């Protein structure tokens, strides 16, 4: 029940929003401003009217069991098998590239999000990622879209998958939009203010998309999207075939437009945000993924990818499902019937369709891989929309114009698609590099009026308006003329009536079941079983037979009457149509369900009796009257012709002087004829009473024939018109000729309707007045239409007057603005030069005269390349300008580039060129702003020399020079630093000095010094600290540093380092030697003191000995 709910049905319709919408709408907004909105506005308008258009298709699908948009047309136009095959092949031609576009989006987005690019020359675990993604899509399509052969069965899985994908892509897109609008920028106001502040951006998003034939392009996109929402095979499959309760359409009428509004709300903010952040226009299609990937984090990037994945997969699944069904029904089965393909494949529809799905995906994959970024692949979305547009005349005509027939449909479709192929598809193929492009520019055989993109010389500014205008013109003309010049078969006319009266009740004949024909139900059931078994698996065939029996045959019934037999076989045919299509079902049923010769004769007799007994209710008769109202003019002519026949018949009666019985017989014949007429007819035997009224009259008034005959034909006339009615009858009697007047007559529902009443008097041969014959045609709708037309004409005249005044005011404003612009350009210091579509100078301001030496009179009307460009650049300029006129401006448009220009003296002048484009009088002109940059180049050259000299000094300095950024990263590292540290410059640039060179014990101290210098800008004092070089050893460096500033902020810490390792090591060795020498000296002093003491003691001893000797030896 979840898959059958109105919400799921409404969300499944968002399969319209493919990856072309999810990704491409942002790219379109970046390139063309609000033009993308037409892709959402067209479907919104159609959905608001879907209760009339789409509900009619749903009713017809329930009656005829459509399985595709092809069945809608083939069932209406003669159930033509060849028409179904033709339409299917054309759709296949358009859908394979369109599916390839979705596959391309899947693979490219996968590459963006993962960074893994498919390389055919590389073999590895990711070599088959692209093929795996395509194969996965095929498996999902078979599982959810082709589970059952009978397409009338509810596809719960498919609808639920589409609903979930709708939610995922909406949440993802809105999340990216919210992130860009409020996460990266400061809301919508900030974005719009930036647009206004940036002239180039404002010109690209606002001015250029609204210039030239922009409104024609807008209308073209609107028409294409309105046709696509109904007639794209995938949309018809979901919207019509997938609807099993028309009440769900009421939910979709507001849910689907709301969904489109929400998903389109952030298209422009994302596009503008990407452009403001510097992303190039060439990558605008991928901004939905690029912005989250580069700035939003992995979670948001993954969500954005899943949204794009859902958009592409949903479209591919439904498109492959519908194309597989159409291909099997309208190509494979007819080939089987003709004996081209083996009969054993007839009952293998599911495997055939599964195979077609994988073949489609393989073809689409090869197509996108072969064309890659070609023009054809990029434009394939709109090209497919234009192809589907060709369904519109025959499709709308099938629903509302009963005169349309198969001949008109054939002519319309053939002419429409031939024009589409010639004016759009083939030029796109040529622009993709296939074949020569000469015939695009000059026309085939040099016939310029046959140029495909400007057919018959009509320049509509773009290939798409050109194709839409001419293809619809030829398509509609072929459909109308072909239908009017050829007639309809009786069966085709019956189907046409059913199509145009889809909301009426089906008329069924109820009669005596005991007629002459009694067919054995067992025989018929055996024929139906054989028919279903040819195309359906055994279990589905049994279910289908049981469904047919339950709906038509009463329990216990063994034989069938004529009407019951016809109803049973028709129901079986409609059931089979849901599997193999209407045209093939008709052909298969006519071959399998047959009666014997005797039963056929009995059936004809029984149906003749049933038709004789047929009674039609007023409601059914009103439906017939409504059918003929669309042919009012023809009906009036027919009524007059019939009245003339009545008069001629009465003359013949008078001439033959037949008896009253013969006259009554003639009147009876008249009444029989009148009862079958599509207009109201009555006949009186006097001016007021004894009236006869045909069935159309009694059905319209709701009064019984007896009541009407008793009270007279003026009974229902409006009281204000009754006197006019009586006077009209009296006038006809007196003038003895027909008279006509508009009168109001009360309808059965009480409403007074305007009727065009025609009265003809009847006279006998002797001139006796016998009564009147009257006819009436309801012209209320025609009068209302005329009144509406008059009111519309008055409103249009008022609107034209207002628009004329607005245009006059706009013209005056334009002249004033042009004068202002001319004053500005004349006083500008930069040269302003304008070149027309032929390459001739059309504007030359005074600054250009001063800069290049040519006066305005000398320059105007001259080829720009002949006097302003050096000789060596002229050929390239002419080629580029030709591409510019064709709509391929190259990379220079909207940018500033340096180039060389030629002065009158022959000297070459370096200039800055800013190039833009504008439309004047329907022609594309180029505007260039040129500035002489001779002095700037000289200054830049001097600056480069000075910079090179400074870099040479730094690089060759005999000391270590180190530059650190605000985060402590290394930005300068000279040659001496490389020699000292052992590191190459490229190895250390960008890495933190502390992490690479400072020992762990010193890192906090050094980090604090760097942080203080960055924060305060103070000069770093002389400091020595250790560094670790490449071989792991430490060196002691003495540093002197200077803080460099820019715009008041610290930009760089520039340090000059001297290796003092050996100096400090020598100082330590000297100190150690000094201490050792000092200790040795102390020891020497101590030894010397000891020696002196010893010598003193020895001297004392000797002295004592001498004294003692002297004492002892006086």
Ordered structural domains, the chain, with CATH: 6-389 (1.20.1730.10), 390-506 (no CATH), 512-613 (no CATH), 618-786 (3.30.450.20), 828-932 (3.30.450.20), 938-1059 (3.30.450.20)
Residue 95: the pLDDT is: 78
Strands laid side by side in the 1049-1059 sheet: 970-973, 960-964, 1049-1059, 1034-1046, 1023-1028
- Per the listing, tokens 């987005």 go with 109
Q: Is 79 helix (H, G, I), strand (E, B) or coil?
A: coil
Q: Which residues contact 491 (CB under 8 A, 6 or more apart)?
A: 78
Residue 616: the pLDDT is: 44
Residue 674: the pLDDT is: 67
Smallest CA-to-CA distance from 222 within 420, 481, 464, 585 is with 464
Residue 473: the pLDDT is: 92
Identify the burial level of 863 via C-beta atoms within 10 angstroms of its C-beta, where 0-12 means exposed, 13-18 middle and 19 or more buried.
middle
Residue 377: the pLDDT is: 43
Residue 583: the pLDDT is: 59
Average pLDDT of adjacent 10-residue blocks, the chain of 1114 residues = 68 84 80 80 88 86 79 82 84 78 75 60 56 80 67 62 88 90 87 82 70 76 87 86 83 90 89 84 79 82 84 83 82 75 65 83 74 52 82 88 87 90 82 71 80 82 85 92 83 79 55 49 63 63 64 59 62 62 61 57 53 43 43 44 57 56 62 70 64 78 69 78 84 83 85 87 76 84 82 81 80 74 75 86 87 87 84 80 69 76 87 82 80 84 78 75 85 84 86 86 84 76 81 85 78 83 82 84 83 77 72 66
Q: Which two tokens stand for residue 330?
A: 């309208």
Q: Taking phi first (over 0 means left), then psi (-120 to 50 degrees means alpha), and beta for anything else, what does residue 5 get?
A: beta
Centre a 10 Å sphere on the Cβ of residue 766 and count the other Cβ atoms it contains: 6
Q: Which residues contact 1041 (CB under 8 A, 6 or more apart)?
A: 1013, 1019, 1020, 1023, 1053, 1054, 1055, 1056
Please give the Cα distance from 383 to 408 (Å, whole number).
24
Q: Which two tokens stand for residue 1061?
A: 């390792």
Please give the Cα distance from 11 to 329 (Å, whole number).
28
Please give the Cα distance from 599 to 2 (Å, whole number).
48
Q: Is the dihedral of CA 981, 983, 988, 994 positive or negative?
A: negative
Q: Which residues contact 884 (CB under 8 A, 6 or more apart)?
A: 890, 893, 917, 924, 926
Residue 131: the pLDDT is: 76
Q: Which residues contact 320 (CB under 8 A, 6 or more apart)?
A: 99, 137, 138, 141, 145, 356, 357, 360, 361
Q: Which two tokens stand for residue 1093?
A: 């003491």
Q: Where are the alpha helices (DSSP H) in 486-537?
A: 490-500, 521-535
For 840, half-sphere exposure in the C-beta direction (CA atoms, 13 angstrom radius) is 7
Q: Which residues contact 209 (CB under 8 A, 6 or more apart)?
A: 32, 33, 34, 35
Contact 981, 964 (CB under 8 A): no
Contact 84, 588 (CB under 8 A): no
Using CA atoms, how far residue 1040 sits from 945, 976, 1002, 1052, in Å, is: 27, 16, 18, 14
Dihedral of the alpha carbons of 645, 646, 651, 655, in degrees to the nearest 10: 100
Residue 375: the pLDDT is: 46
Contact 608, 639 (CB under 8 A): no
Contact 101, 20 (CB under 8 A): yes
Contact 272, 195 (CB under 8 A): yes
Please give the Cα distance from 411 to 404 (Å, whole number).
11
Please give the Cα distance from 979 to 32 (Å, whole number).
57
Map 300-360 to HEC letters. HHHHHHHHHHHHHHHHHHHHHHHHHHHHHHHHHHHHHHCCCCCHHHCCCHHHHHHHHHHHH
Residue 481: the pLDDT is: 92
pLDDT digits over 226-252, tens only?
888 888 888 888 888 888 788 888 888
Q: Is 128 helix (H, G, I), strand (E, B) or coil?
A: coil
């Amino acid at each position: 029940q979840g898959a059958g709910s109105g919400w799921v049905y409404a969300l499944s319709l968002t399969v319209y929003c493919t990856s072309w919408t999810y990704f491409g709408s942002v790219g379109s907004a970046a390139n063309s401003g609000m033009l993308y909105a037409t892709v959402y506005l067209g479907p919104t308008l159609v959905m608001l009217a879907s209760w009339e258009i789409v509900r009619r298709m749903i009713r017809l699908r329930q009656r005829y069991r459509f399985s595709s948009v092809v069945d809608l047309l083939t069932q209406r136009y003669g159930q033509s098998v060849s028409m179904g095959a033709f339409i299917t092949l054309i759709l296949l031609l358009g859908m394979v590239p369109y599916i390839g576009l979705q596959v391309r989006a899947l693979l490219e987005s996968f590459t963006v999000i993962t960074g893994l690019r498919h390389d055919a020359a590389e073999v590895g675990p990711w070599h088959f990622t692209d093929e795996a993604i395509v194969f996965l899509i095929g498996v999902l399509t078979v599982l959810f879209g082709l589970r059952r052969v009978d397409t009338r069965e509810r596809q719960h899985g498919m609808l639920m998958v589409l609903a979930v994908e709708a939610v995922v892509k909406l949440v993802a897109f809105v999340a990216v939009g919210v992130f860009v609008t409020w996460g990266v920028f400061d809301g919508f106001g900030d974005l719009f203010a930036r647009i206004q502040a940036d002239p180039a951006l404002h010109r690209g998003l606002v001015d250029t998309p609204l210039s030239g034939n922009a409104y024609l392009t807008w209308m073209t996109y609107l028409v294409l999207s309105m046709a696509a929402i109904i007639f794209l095979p995938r949309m018809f499959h979901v919207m019509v075939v997938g609807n099993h309760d028309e009440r769900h359409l009421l939910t979709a009428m507001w849910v689907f437009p709301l969904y489109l509004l929400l998903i389109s709300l952030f298209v422009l903010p994302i596009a503008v945000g990407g452009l403001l952040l510097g992303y190039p226009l060439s990558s605008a299609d991928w901004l939905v993924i690029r912005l989250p990937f580069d700035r939003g984090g992995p979670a948001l990037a993954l969500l954005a990818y899943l949204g794009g994945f859902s958009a592409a997969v949903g479209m591919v699944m439904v498109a492959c499902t519908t194309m597989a069904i159409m291909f099997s029904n309208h190509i494979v089965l007819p080939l089987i019937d003709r004996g081209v393909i083996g009969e054993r494949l007839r009952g293998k529809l599911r495997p055939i369709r599964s195979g077609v799905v994988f073949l489609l995906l393989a073809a689409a994959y090869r197509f996108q891989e072969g064309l890659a970024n070609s023009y054809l692949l990029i434009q394939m979305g709109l090209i497919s929309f234009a192809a589907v547009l060709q369904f519109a005349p025959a499709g709308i005509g099938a629903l509302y114009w009963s005169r349309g027939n198969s001949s008109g449909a054939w002519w319309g479709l053939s002419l429409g698609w031939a024009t589409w192929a010639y004016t759009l598809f083939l030029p796109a193929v040529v622009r993709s590099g296939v074949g020569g492009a000469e015939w695009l520019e000059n026309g085939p055989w040099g016939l310029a009026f046959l140029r495909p993109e400007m057919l018959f010389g009509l320049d509509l500014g773009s290939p798409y308006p050109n194709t839409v205008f001419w293809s619809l013109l030829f398509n509609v003309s072929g459909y109308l003329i072909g239908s009017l010049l050829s007639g309809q078969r009786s069966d085709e006319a019956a189907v046409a009536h059913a199509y145009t009266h889809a909301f009426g009740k089906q008329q069924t004949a109820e009669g005596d079941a005991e007629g002459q024909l009694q067919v054995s139900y067992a025989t018929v059931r055996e024929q139906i079983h054989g028919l279903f078994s040819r195309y359906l698996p055994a279990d589905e065939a049994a279910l289908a037979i049981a469904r047919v029996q339950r709906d038509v045959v009463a329990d216990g019934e063994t034989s069938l009457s004529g009407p019951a037999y016809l109803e049973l076989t028709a129901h079986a045919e409609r059931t089979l149509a849901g599997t193999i299509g209407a045209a093939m079902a008709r052909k298969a049923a006519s071959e399998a369900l047959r009666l014997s010769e005797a039963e056929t004769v009995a059936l004809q007799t029984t149906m003749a009796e049933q038709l004789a007994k047929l009674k039609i209710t007023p409601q059914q008769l009103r439906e017939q009257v409504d059918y003929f109202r669309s042919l009012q003019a023809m009906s009036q002519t027919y009524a007059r012709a019939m009245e003339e026949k009545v008069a001629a018949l009465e003359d013949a009666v008078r001439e033959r002087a037949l008896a009253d019985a013969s006259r009554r017989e003639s009147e009876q014949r008249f009444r029989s004829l009148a009862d079958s007429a599509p207009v109201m007819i009555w006949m009186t035997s006097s001016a007021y009473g004894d009236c006869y009224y045909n069935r159309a009259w009694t059905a319209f008034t709701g009064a019984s024939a007896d009541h009407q005959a008793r009270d007279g034909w003026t009974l229902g006339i409006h009281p204000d018109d009754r006197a006019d009615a009586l006077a009209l009858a009296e006038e006809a009697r007196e003038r003895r000729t027909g008279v006509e007047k508009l009168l109001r007559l009360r309808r059965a529902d009480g409403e007074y309707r305007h009727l065009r009443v025609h009265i003809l008097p009847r006279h006998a041969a002797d001139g006796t007045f016998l009564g009147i014959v009257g006819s009436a045609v309801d012209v209320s709708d025609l009068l209302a239409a005329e009144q509406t037309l008059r009111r519309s004409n008055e409103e249009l005249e008022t609107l034209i007057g207002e628009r004329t005044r607005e245009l006059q005011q706009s013209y005056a404003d334009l002249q004033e603005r042009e004068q202002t612009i001319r004053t500005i350009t004349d006083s500008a210091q930069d040269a302003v030069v304008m070149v027309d579509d032929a390459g001739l100078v059309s504007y030359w301001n005074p600054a250009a005269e001063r800069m290049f030496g040519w006066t305005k009179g000398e320059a105007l009307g001259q080829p720009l390349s002949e006097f302003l460009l050096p000789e060596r650049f002229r050929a390239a300029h002419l080629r580029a300008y030709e591409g510019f006129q064709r709509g391929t401006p190259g990379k220079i448009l909207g940018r500033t580039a340096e180039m060389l220009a030629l002065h009158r003296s022959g000297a070459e002048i370096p200039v800055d060129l800013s190039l833009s484009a504008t439309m004047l009088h329907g022609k594309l002109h180029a505007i260039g702003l040129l500035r002489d940059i001779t002095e700037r180049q000289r200054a830049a050259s001097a600056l480069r020399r000075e910079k090179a000299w400074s870099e040479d000094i730094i690089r060759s300095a005999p000391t270590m020079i180190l530059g650190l950024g605000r985060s402590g990263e290394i930005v300068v590292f000279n040659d001496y630093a490389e020699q000292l540290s052992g590191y190459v410059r490229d190895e250390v640039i960008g890495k933190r000095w502390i992490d690479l060179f400072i020992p762990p014990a010193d890192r906090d101290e050094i980090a604090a010094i760097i942080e203080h210098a960055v924060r305060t800008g103070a000069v770093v004092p002389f400091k020595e600290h250790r560094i670790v070089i490449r071989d792991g050893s430490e060196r002691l460096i003495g540093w002197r540093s200077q803080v460099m500033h820019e715009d008041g902020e610290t930009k760089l810490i520039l340090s000059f380092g001297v290796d003092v390792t050996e100096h400090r090591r020598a100082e330590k060795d000297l100190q150690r030697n000094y201490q050792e020498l000092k200790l040795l000296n102390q020891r020497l002093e101590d030894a010397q003191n000891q020696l002196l003491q010893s010598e003193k003691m020895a001297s004392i001893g000797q002295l004592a000995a001498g004294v003692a000797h002297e004492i002892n030896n006086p």
